Structure 1
Amino acid sequence: MTWHLSIDIETYSSIDIKKAGLYRYVQSPDFEILLFAYSWDGGPTRIVDLTQGEVIPGEVIRALNDKEVIKHAYNAAFEWYCLNKFWPSPVEHWRCTQIHGLYCGYPAGLGKVGEALGLPQDKKKMGVGGALIRTFCVPIKKPAKSTGFRKRTLPHHEPEKWELFKQYCMGDVVAEVEILRRLSVFPVPEQEWDLWFLDQRINARGIACDLQLVDGALAVDQQITAELMQEAIQISGLDNPKSVSQLKKWISKEIGEEVEDLRKDTVSGLIDNVEEGRAKRVLEIRRELSKTSTKKYVAMETVACEDGRVRGLLQFYGANRTGRWAGRLVQVHNLTKNKMELDLLQYARQLVQDKQVNLLKLMFGNVPDTLSQLIRTAFVAPDGKKLHIADFSAIEARVIAWLAGEQWRLDVFATHGKIYEASASAMFGIPLEQVDKDLRQRGKVSELALGYQGASGALIAMGALDMGLEEDELPEIVTRWRNANRRIVDLWFGFEKAALSVMETGQPVGVRGIIFARESHHGNGLDFFTVQLPSGRKLYYVEPRLAQNDFGKQALHYMGPDQKTGKWSLISTYGGKLVENIVQAIARDCLAVSLVRVEQAGFDTVLHVHDEIGIESAYPEDLEKVLDLMAVPVPWAPGLPLKAAGFTTDFYMKD
């Protein structure tokens, strides 16, 4: 018989968990568990006050290492890793209610998901929770004379608040149990739990960080920033050249025209158009200062554990709609690309490690830009090993071709793989070998912008005008691309029609192996529009309904986190957007299959970003083995042509 144990703990550490992450937080020598609240099989919640000498019952301690007892927690990675410092508890025995909520389309955060589910007030997080955590779980920032200059607050300092804190901790268990009860009728597939277990192992393994480079980058940046600021002050006479209002006013006066903002693209445009002189130089300084990427170097320094490894960089199911991973702490999903050749990259790294500011200026000119390009190279292979980086080639383009049955595209991927050239060839009706650089640009921007029902605006957003295309020729490019990809166009409208049909009739509809359905459980008050993927995983759209969109068309709407504000809002969708969600979700599932294969083959994955996997290895031949594993056909996607390319390096970079 399987038992279920729901747990919530409150802890103390002098390390800031939001900045340094879970692993460094727990590894701090002063880390301790303060409260342990638990419930057996949804029964009464009990609490153990470890600060008062109470002990966790033996049956609970034994349960932590008992495979017949499934441990549940909200954000279970926290409870699992914290408790493992004192009592072994294999991650395979745990289930995370936060992941269950994310899988079903809900936001992260116990309070947020409780609100989205409509939990009664007494089952939500108490509003004072944040204040209580700041009182008992973190050091006092500014010790005061009135409190004897103490560095932390203990239960006997605030006995009434402590009793409230115990109620708050128990309330978290009650809320977690209720969320689990409601969501249990829509279970997470076992393959996703296996992937979550793997994710915990990868995050706990971490990746080595070159702390000498990080230290050098911070020192170089400090000196360069001071020099640039001093130069800007001397030229402009401003007290604070970083002040947007001061600088806007000064530049407007200097160039004789009103400057509305100082956003990145505005500054670049002004630099291109303003004559040589004081204003241009100050604008150049503004651009250089904005490129300084000290935040990521500071994050690396803060997150790095004692062994020099950075952990906890990936959030499982972090992308709400597709189930892709999201970046955390150092945000590895948006690292600046390096454009230097390898030998220059190595030389720049050495100069930064040695804090050779003058040589950096002499060799590279724009030092902030150089530091920005070096960020990803701070992730390194440890002594005696290399990093093998393997990346799926054009994975989304392959998936959409396979899903739509666009045969000419599949033939391209099965042969030469030059999709930009082939796209231009199909669009303009000329042989592949006659596609010149100009036509390839048109093919490239079309491929990047138009696959998900984008039009001229999408081309502009993808940089079509910067590539030299004229705005009045964009509609023709859209038409040519759509004419060359009729099956993809059919896919947009097929998915949209299926979604509307499901909402109107309540009956499931299958299109190209994707099953659209309406799934509800009125006892728990749950209602979803679901999309079953070829892998068996489902995408969930919460509280679906039909309503008119901004264009006056009947469209599927659902509740979800707004992309800009993060607020729980009503969102509308359409055929192209559904295709985008599904294609990216299938690409994510292909990566998931590869991650499992790579781990089962005995390799140590230390990082994965978008469609790229990085492993640590002492053997050069391991790269080819990983590439071969990524190219093996996926059982649930017959005919999907997968291919990966890669390289071996001492430090992480873009090849």
Structure 2
Amino acid sequence: MWHLSIDIETYSSVDIKKAGLYKYVQSPDFEILLFAYSWDGGPVEIVDLKQGESLPMEVIHALYDPNVIKHAYNAAFEWYCINSVMESPIEQWRCTQIHGLYCGYPAGLGKVGEALGLPQDKKKMGVGTSLIRTFCVPIKKPAKSNGYRTRTLPHHEPEKWELFKQYCVGDVVAEKEILRRLSVFPVPEQEWQLWQLDQRINARGIACDLELVEGALTVDQQVTRELMAEAVELSGLDNPKSVQQLKKWLTEEIGEEVEDLRKDTVSGLIETVEEGRAKRVLEIRRELSKTSVKKYQSMQTVACEDGRVRGLLQFYGANRTGRWAGRLVQVHNLTKNKMDLELLKYARQLVREQRIDMLKLIFGNVPDTLSQLIRTAFVASPGKVLNVADFNAIEARVIAWLAGEQWRLDVFASHGKIYEASASQMFGVPIESIGKDSDLRQKGKVSELALGYQGAAGALISMGALDMGLTEGELPEIVTRWRNANRRIVDLWYSFERAAIEVMESGQPVGVKGIIFARESHYDNRLDFFTIQLPSGRKLYYVEPTLAQNDFGKQALHYMGPDQKTGKWTKISTYGGKLVENVVQAIARDCLAVSLIKAEQAGFETVLHVHDEIGIESDRPEDLEKVLELMAQPIDWAPGLPLKAAGFTTEFYMKD
């Protein structure tokens, strides 16, 4: 098998960061400018396509030769760009960015080079951003000084163009070195198959109701203008959106200090402030915060000529577990719709027709209505439906299976009412006595959501325990009751923690419940990992592991990774409950992966998947039952894991 490492530089008038790869490439003025390549780790060659050079025939043949594996950093870009001019099957490609993400490193050629400590001559050149801005995008402001031209060509800046060619070569050098170092820790073949499927799903895209999108943007603009005018009239402020101005005005108006204008603060003030100007201004602020039109704007920007939105999913986007992440429209954090189906349909019709008065009359809060309609902008193509199928309580099932918590497994094997069953176990009452709206069910629900990964009172609060009417004084008892009812899960936390410390102290692998913890190093490449092998065979990688005291003075596993808030590459501490969370979410992700592959093999066209939910476009509503059966099938590497899925058929995407 031969290996060809590739990097290309391209031009398009479409902004790739805002519109995404697919619309970028589909632009009529898209073109490939430079093509750098290396055979089997050898010297890098550069072909200046923009100045009339041609690819060697051996490279052209290699692009569709199954005996040549094509490598690139963020290979989805190279693959799709090249496929705009010739066919190069995705099955023949491998992505070095995905390899880095699999091994626990950050995304970005420069960032992973820094994290790996690449020598200066093998790092990505720092001037790349400036050169890309010069040659790869249109000139924003044509002026007399640049001859009023709309783009810079090689002959306009010959010295910079030569530097640009060096930059392209340098990217291949960096990609090759990253690949060389990581190759001793290979990505499993099933993960490459899944990545290839991910490219097909992203390239397929999902249809978007652009008439609804346009209507939502128009309605939002007018309603926002009206609400802002009302707020100005009531408050006399120049800019009621200004936090500083509004805080000062509210403090004077209601006679007490307003420290911030966070969502919960505003809601609390609305409950306590008397009727009058201040209350109405607060209501306006809450209304305006109900929806951000950014997602509608993103849909409009990303939608291709055929009305489909592509590139919404990032494979291995969640560094720790390998779950997918959202891109462009961010489908992983869409607002839930609370209306019933008929109201949703009517609201969509009114927005498409831009009937603002009727929206106000029937729904009252127009911004909230627009917010609920965001996910319904994703639709089935004409003549087709979306079959949406969702794993039922997948994380709760996985943790019960992994820990061997039998009463929970019995619940999932029968009625599946885990909130009621949890409350029954915690408080020692018959499950039949716990109604849907009972206080005990609420306690069971918030416990299930908050406590499975070693959370305590703080986790209950963050999951809304106080909003449910519980008091802080009740929370420690709820934590104790849940842990007493789930002793095997509690044991799992501490077993994982002890295993991690033992591996770090002894250097020997440790197995817990079929999960293998190990220390894996390669000294020539200066790579060192703490690894967790999952039942699927996939591994989780923790870079440069060490043992050190944590914030609580306990010995704990630390590793290098991206900080969740800042993204900065830094040292992170972990503990038993967090390791259990990583493993449970990773196994749940692998269950979804199995279902995605089975769906493709069965001939279904997946157009979207979000968290543990799959959306399939079909001209046969009856396909839904087949998809649900497929998702509930036992998985070879997870014997005894009780899987179940529920779903619905719809013309537009929604939360059922």
Give the TM-score category using the shorter length.
Answer: over 0.9
CA RMSD of aligned residues (A): 0.6
Specify the alignment match of 2:590 in structure 1. Answer: 589
Q: Which amino acid aligns with 2:146?
A: T
Match of 1:477 in 2: 478
Would you say 1:284 and 2:286 are equivalent positions? no
**Map of 1:205-284 to 2, 5 A cutoff?**
205-284=204-283
**What SS does the aligned partner of 2:149 have?**
coil
Unaligned runs of 5+ residues in structure 2 are none
Q: What letter is aligned with 1:248?
A: K
User: Cα offset for 1:149?
Assistant: 1.3
Q: 2-side partners of 1:291 and 1:27: how far apart? A: 34
Q: What corresponds to 1:362 in structure 2?
A: 361
Q: In 2, distance between residues paired with 1:501 and 1:494?
A: 10
Which residue of structure 2 lines up, in the alignment, with residue 457 of structure 1? 458
**Structure 2 SS opposite 1:51:** helix
Q: How does 1:483-498 map to 2 (within 5 A)?
A: 483-498=484-499
Map of 2:518 onto structure 1: 517
Give, in whole Å, the separation in 2 of the partners of 1:290 and 1:427. Answer: 38
- Aligned twin of 1:333: 332
Alignment of 1:437-456 (within 5 A): 437-456=438-457
Provide the rounded CA distance (Å) in 2 between the counterparts of 1:264 and 1:299: 24
8 Å Cα contact 1:530-1:538 kept in structure 2 = yes
Distance apart, 1:122 and its partner CA: 2.0
Q: Supply the AA of the counterpart residue of 2:651.
A: D
Alignment correspondent of 1:24? 23
Alpha-carbon contact 1:248-1:262 (below 8 Å) kept: yes
Name the SS for the 1:228 alignment partner: helix
- Deviations 1:407-436 (Å, cap 9, x if unpaired)? 000000000000000000000111111124
User: How many Å separate the matches in 1 of 2:140 and 2:300?
Assistant: 20
Cα deviation digits, residues 164-186 of structure 1 (max 9, x gap): 11111100000000000000000
SS in 2 for 1:479: helix
The answer as to 2:20 corresponding to 1:14 is: no
Amino acid at match of 2:476: P
User: In structure 2, the residue corresponding to 1:156 is in which secondary structure?
Assistant: coil
1:293, distance to aligned residue in structure 2 (A): 2.1
Residue 50 (str. 1) matches residue 49 (str. 2): yes
8 Å Cα contact 1:508/1:515 also seen in 2: yes
Mapped contact 1:421–1:440 kept (Cα < 8 A): yes
SS of the counterpart of 1:478? helix
Deviations along 1:426-449, one digit per CA (max 9) or x if unpaired, are 001111111241100000000000
Distance 1:219 1:152 in 2: 33
Q: 1:68 matched to which residue of 2?
A: 67
* 1:228 maps to amino acid: L
SS at match of 1:474: helix
Query: What amino acid sits opposite 1:558 in the alignment?
Result: Y
SS of the residue 1:614 aligns to? strand
**Partner-residue secondary structure (3-state), 2:374:** helix
The number of aligned residues is 654
- Counterparts of residues 126-275 of structure 1 (less than 5 Å): 126-275=125-274
Three-state SS of the structure 2 residue aligned to 1:95 is strand
How far residue 292 of structure 1 moved from its aligned partner, in angstroms, is 2.6
State TM-score, norm by structure 2.
0.99
5 Å-filtered alignment, 1:38-117, equals 38-117=37-116
Amino acid at match of 1:122: D
Cα deviation digits, residues 336-394 of structure 1 (max 9, x gap): 00000110000000000000011101110100000000000000011111000000000
Mean alpha-carbon deviation: is it higher for 509-518 or for 283-292?
283-292
Distance 1:297 1:555 in 2: 44
Is the CA contact (8 Å cut-off) linking 1:221 and 1:292 kept in structure 2?
A: no
Partner of 1:536: 537
Instruction: Show CA shifts across 1:620-649 (max 9, x none).
Output: 210000000000000000000000000000
TM-score (norm 1): 0.99
The AA in structure 1 aligned to 2:44 is T
Q: Which amino acid aligns with 1:171?
A: G
Once residues 285 and 615 of structure 2 are traced to their aligned partners in structure 1, the CA distance between those partners, rounded to angstroms, is 35
Distance 1:6 1:620 in 2: 44
Farther off after superposition, 247-256 or 187-196:
247-256
Deviations 1:180-203 (A, max 9, x none): 000000000000000001000000
For residue 54 of structure 1, give the secondary structure of its aligned residue in structure 2. coil
Structure 1 residue 574 displacement after superposition: 0.2
Matched position secondary structure for 1:523: coil
Q: Equivalent residue of 2:409, what SS?
A: helix
Farther-moved stretch of structure 1 (118-127 vs 600-609): 118-127
Letter of the 1:478 counterpart: V
Q: CA deviation at 1:396?
A: 0.1
Letter in structure 2 aligned against 1:371: L
| SS across alignment from 1:235 | helix
**Whole-angstrom CA distance in 2 between matches of 1:555 and 1:646:** 42
Structure-1 separation of matches of 2:284 and 2:244: 16
1:562 aligns with 2:563: yes
* Mapped contact 1:214–1:301 kept (Cα < 8 A): yes
Per the TM alignment, residue 266 of structure 1 is displaced from its structure 2 partner at its CA by 1.4
Q: Which runs of 4+ in 1 moved over 6 A?
A: none
Question: How far is 1:142 from its partner?
Answer: 1.4
1:629 aligns with 2:622: no
Q: Give the CA deviation at 1:334.
A: 0.1
Render the CA deviation track for 1:460-516: whole Å, top value 9, x for unaligned: 000000001111010000000000000000000000000000000000000000000
In structure 1, stretches of 5+ residues that fail to align are none
Q: Is the 8 A contact 1:345 1:374 kept in 2?
A: yes
